[in-house]
């Protein structure tokens, strides 16, 4: 029997082909996989009894819920992962599912942008398998990765490890994610190496991001790349529900405009929306409002989340 991640993809392909009547080429384009992979998965779906007269989703696969999320929020793809109601376990399970997604959808000459300071992204690269042959990939750090030394090692490791796994070139953004003043930010932006990395943001074809609540995660807090407690309170008072790359947004996914934005060095939300594939990997009750806001604002177009969060996202508050 195939692994649960392959079963999930197999079931999605079978549903699109047999239920939604998409052609194999259309499925390959929508899911960012090759047509040969689509054909192979359709055959395996028949061999393993996933497809009989009617679609028979294996236990732990939630194809109908994934399809519902894709329709509600206009997603390219949603992946729903069963997990225990424990933040650390959710992080590990989402990381495993995201690793499988990457291993099956990476394309030649992919330019991968990856955020810093995300424990879920760390879990993703730790679960990922190395690709068999070079694809000419680049891996760009899209949020400043300098911080307290212990935490900084994680931010650098995420980029370098992913680059090694895809046999690609790592490109670091060697500055803090949050600086003390807008003037300090401008000084950093005058550095040629920083300008070169930021200039590469426009070439990103696949962005991997965590979705944070207004209250910073343990990893982010330990990095030192956080605003003061009163500044977080002010963000919440202005309607902020979460952030991507430390760019805060409200319940509809619209940017919360404050002077704090002028102290962040990283990808902007408008840049993120222009990326062909932006994969948000997040779950858990604490992040529900933030994930919903990111979806409503079209800040991501691929979502990997846990079952309980997915059910809440598809519930009455979806629109």
Architecture of domain 62-318: 3-Layer(aba) Sandwich (3.40)
Task: Please name the fold of domain 1-59.
Answer: Arc Repressor Mutant, subunit A (1.10.10)
- Annotated domain spans of the chain: 1-59, 62-318
* pLDDT, position 1: 40
Alpha-carbon span 172 to 266, nearest angstrom? 11
The pTM of the full predicted model, rounded to 2 decimals, is 0.86
CB 313, CB 305: distance < 8 Å: yes
Tens digits of residue pLDDT in 249-295: 999 999 999 999 999 999 999 999 999 999 999 999 999 999 999 99
Q: How confident is the model at residue 53 (pLDDT cuts 50, 70, 90)?
A: low
* pLDDT, position 297: 97
Query: What average pLDDT does range 232-257 have in this prediction?
Result: 94
Paired with 248 in beta bridges are 243
Tens digits of residue pLDDT in 166-193: 999 999 999 999 999 999 999 999 999 9
Asked whether the predicted pLDDT for residue 223 surpasses 90, the reply is no
């Amino acid at each position: 029997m195939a692994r649960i991640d392959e079963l999930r993809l197999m079931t999605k392909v079978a549903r699109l082909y047999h239920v939604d009547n998409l052609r194999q080429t259309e499925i390959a384009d929508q899911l960012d996989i090759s047509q040969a992979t689509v054909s192979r998965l359709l055959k395996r779906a028949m061999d393993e009894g996933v497809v009989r007269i009617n679609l028979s989703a294996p236990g732990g696969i939630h194809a109908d819920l994934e399809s519902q999320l894709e329709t509600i929020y206009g997603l390219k793809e949603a992946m729903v992962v069963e997990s225990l109601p424990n933040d650390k376990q959710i992080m590990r399970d989402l990381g495993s599912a995201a690793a499988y997604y990457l291993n099956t959808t990476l394309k030649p000459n992919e330019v991968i942008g990856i955020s810093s300071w995300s424990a879920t992204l760390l879990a993703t690269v730790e679960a990922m398998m190395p690709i068999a042959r070079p694809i000419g990939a680049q891996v760009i750090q899209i949020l400043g990765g300098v911080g307290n030394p212990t935490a900084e090692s994680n931010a650098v490791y995420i980029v370098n490890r992913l680059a090694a796994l895809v046999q690609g070139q790592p490109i670091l953004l060697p500055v803090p994610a949050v600086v003390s003043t807008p003037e300090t930010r401008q000084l950093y932006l005058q550095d040629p190496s920083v300008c070169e990395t930021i200039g590469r943001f426009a070439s990103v074809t696949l962005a991997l991001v965590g979705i944070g609540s207004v209250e910073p995660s343990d990893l982010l807090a330990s990095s030192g790349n956080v605003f003061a407690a009163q500044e977080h309170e002010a963000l919440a008072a202005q309607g902020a529900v979460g952030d991507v790359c430390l760019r805060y947004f409200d319940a509809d996914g619209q940017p919360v405009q404050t002077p704090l934005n002028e102290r962040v060095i990283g990808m902007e939300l408008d840049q993120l929306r222009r990326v062909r594939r932006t994969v948000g990997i997040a779950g858990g009750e604490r992040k529900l409002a933030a994930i919903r806001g990111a979806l409503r604002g079209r800040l991501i177009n691929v979502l990997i989340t846990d079952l309980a969060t997915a059910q809440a996202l598809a519930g009455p508050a979806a629109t």
